[in-house]
Amino acid sequence: MSERLHPQDVMKALASVKAAGEMKDIVSLGWVKDVEVEEGAVTVTLALPNSSDPASAVVADSVRREVARLNAGEVRVRLVARHGASSGASSNLIPQVKNTVAVASGKGGVGKSTVAVNLAVALRRAGARVGLMDTDVYGPSVPALIGSRSAPTVVDGKLEPSVEHGIKLISIAYFLPQDEAVIWRGPMLHKTIRQFLEDVRWGELDYLVMDLPPGTGDIQLSLSQTIPLTGAVIVSTPQDVALGVASKAIAMFQKLGVPILGVVENMSGYVCPHCGAREDIFGHGGARAAAARMHFPFLGEIPLAIDIRKQSDRGQPVAEDESTPYGKAFRDVAVELTKQVELARRSASQEIAIE
Amino acid sequence: MNGSTGILRPTRIKLDAGNDSLAITWSDGHSSVYAYSTLRSQCPCATCLGTEGERAAPAAPASLPMFKTALRPVRVEVVGRYALQIFWNDGHSTGIYTFTYLRNLCPCAECAPA
């Protein structure tokens, strides 16, 4: 062979190599760091998202095979750690989690945790693999609402989440003695959020639902910075005062580039169990109207019902029974949510390529 | 409509784009080229901004010109969905440049204020 191979030709050959689970080839993904052509040898440097992953050995083999076809002599593949990691909808911290949904509100006490728990249950009932992360370190209520009896365990230096109602679960409540309070400043909260994402063995999940504390503080900011959230669900009562504060939460997520997946109206109308008359204690339709005004999807209404409170206190999420009006309401919200998640994924699919 | 936020995002970020600069291609097709010196002097972190609200003054020039390696980013990382974090070769990395901020910094003739 008299003519020396051009690195561009090697790149062309590499463009046919795809990694398992990725839609694009390794060149488009930016995994090829460098190609060196010497006399009788080609060295390809690959920067893989996780170079200790067994899948990277498969990629290296495919690279070797493709480049060997060019008959340029010896083929060497070097694997290096990846710098300047890009992140689209999937994050390096939790690569096996498809969608991350934050359940948020402006005001406290609007039923965020109840909605988060029941949404998680409804999604699981629809056949999805679901995780639930209670990021409310000040008032963690998810384990009680879902009737959690077992705590997470540590296996091989990682936290194995407890499983309740088929949902993988993590909460600060597991790590605190009862009646003990978390009095932390931002950096500690940030560390906890990171640990909940990084050091928990979530495994393959379709949805990781995150119950946020109320407001627009450190936790919300840390979460939005640590992973590219698929989107946020805003919970509000129909009341004007709750809606006013909810719009602040919406404004925060917009600033942080997090899509608003939709608004849920909780405590929407009370039907008297004795006479069947309906009383709109916190008003009705306010959240729907607000969502329409701000051009956000409206995901649905959850009625105010004594059974939701009773069952929640017993740790039995009402979404487990779809024959009740509220069980059905949660299922409808979950169906609407999956549609919006799909739309959000599509519109945010473009990755940022870092060179 | 979907609740996507519609802020401009980079689609491509290129370090060492020539003449000590970083290049960004935006989701609307616009390209921006930033000199490293500009990026560093406009670092939005609290230390560089100065907690008293004034940008910290650059160190006084030494009486003898000392050799200093030029400041350049070692790498950049995307922060969530809204910003870039730049890691400089002198160890500085606290600046989180939001996409909106970066776009407003674009020095091209089209973007520059008239």
Q: What residue ranges of chain A have pLDDT lower than 70? A: 1-3, 20-22, 49-55, 80-92, 348-350
CA dist B66 and B87 (Å) reads 24
Residues of chain A contacting residue B82, judged by C-beta atoms under 8 Å apart: 224, 255-258
- Tokens 């109320």 locate to A214
Residue A342 included in any domain:
yes
A297 inside 8 A of chain B by CB: yes
> Given A28, A50, A81, which residue is the final one in a domain?
A81
Question: Do the beta carbons of residue A223 and residue A191 sit within 8 Å?
Answer: no
The residues with which A263 forms a beta bridge, in sequence order, are A234, A298
> Given A81, A105, A128, which residue is the final one in a domain?
A81
Which CATH number covers residue A244?
3.40.50.300
Same domain, A328 and A190: yes
Is ipTM strictly over 0.90?
no
Going by their DSSP bridges, the two strands A97-104 and A205-211 should be labelled as: parallel
Edge-to-edge, what's the strand order for the sheet holding B21-26?
A353-354, B10-14, B21-26, B31-35
Residue B86 included in any domain:
yes
pLDDT, residue A275, reads 82
Same domain, A153 and A289: yes
Residue B46 included in any domain:
yes
Same domain, A66 and A155: no
Number of domains in chain B: 1
Residue B2 included in any domain:
no
- Tokens 């698929």 locate to A230
Residue B76 included in any domain:
yes
Same domain, A203 and A340: yes
Number of domains in chain A: 2
Same domain, A75 and A101: no
Which CATH number covers residue A42?
3.30.300.130
Render pLDDT for A84-118 as a digit per residue (tens, 0 to 9).
333 343 456 888 899 999 999 988 889 999 999 99
Q: Cβ contact (<8 Å) for A83 and B75?
A: yes
A224 inside 8 A of chain B by CB: yes
Q: Cβ contact (<8 Å) for A352 and B78?
A: yes
Q: Cβ contact (<8 Å) for A259 and B3?
A: yes
| Collapsed DSSP state (helix, strand, coil) of residue A45 | strand
Residue A89 included in any domain:
no
Residue B25 included in any domain:
yes
Residue B63 included in any domain:
no
- Tokens 């000392």 locate to B66
> What 3 state SS string does B24-45 have?
EEECCCCEEEEEHHHHHHCCCC
- Tokens 């936020």 locate to B5
Same domain, A277 and A170: yes
Same domain, A170 and A60: no
Residue A112 included in any domain:
yes
Q: Which residue range(s) make up the domain with A74?
A: 7-81
CA dist A93 and A226 (Å) reads 8
Residue B112 included in any domain:
no
Looking at residue A78, its amino acid is: R
CA dist B30 and A333 (Å) reads 39
pTM of the entire predicted model: 0.72
Residue A260 included in any domain:
yes
pLDDT, residue A89, reads 38
Q: Closest Cα to residue A111, out of A248, A1, A211?
A: A211
> Given A25, A49, A81, which residue is the final one in a domain?
A81
Question: Do the beta carbons of residue A231 and residue A340 sit within 8 Å?
Answer: yes
Nearest CA in chain B to A93: B80
Give the CA distances from residue A239 to residues A107, A138, A268, A286, A310, in Å, rounded to whole numbers and listed in that order: 11, 25, 9, 6, 23
Nearest CA in chain B to A226: B80
Number of A to B CB contacts under 8 A, please give it: 88
Q: How far is B99 from chain A (nearest CA, A)?
A: 9
Which CATH number covers residue B39?
3.30.2020.30
Q: Cβ contact (<8 Å) for B27 and A347?
A: no
Residue A352 included in any domain:
no
Q: Which residue range(s) make up the domain with B37?
A: 10-56+72-105
Looking at residue A60, its amino acid is: A
Q: Cβ contact (<8 Å) for B9 and A350?
A: yes
Nearest CA in chain B to A348: B4
Same domain, A68 and A108: no
Structure tokens at A327: 């069980």
Looking at residue A11, its amino acid is: M
Between helix A286-294 and helix A240-255 the angle, nearest 10°, is 30
CA dist A223 and A190 (Å) reads 8
Residues of chain A contacting residue B5, judged by C-beta atoms under 8 Å apart: 253-254, 257-260
pLDDT, residue A159, reads 92
A347 inside 8 A of chain B by CB: yes
DSSP per-residue string spanning B34-98: EEHHHHHHT--SHHHH-TTSSPPPPPPPPSSPPP-PPP-EEEEEEETTTEEEEEETTS----EEE
Q: Is A242 exposed, middle or buried (0-12, 13-18, 19+ CB in 10 A)?
A: buried
Same domain, A230 and A327: yes
Per-residue pLDDT tens listing for chain B (114 residues)? 344 456 788 989 998 888 889 999 998 889 999 999 999 999 998 888 866 556 655 655 666 666 667 888 998 988 988 999 999 988 899 999 999 999 999 998 888 765
Q: Cβ contact (<8 Å) for B13 and A355?
A: yes
DSSP element (H, E) containing A233:
strand A231-236
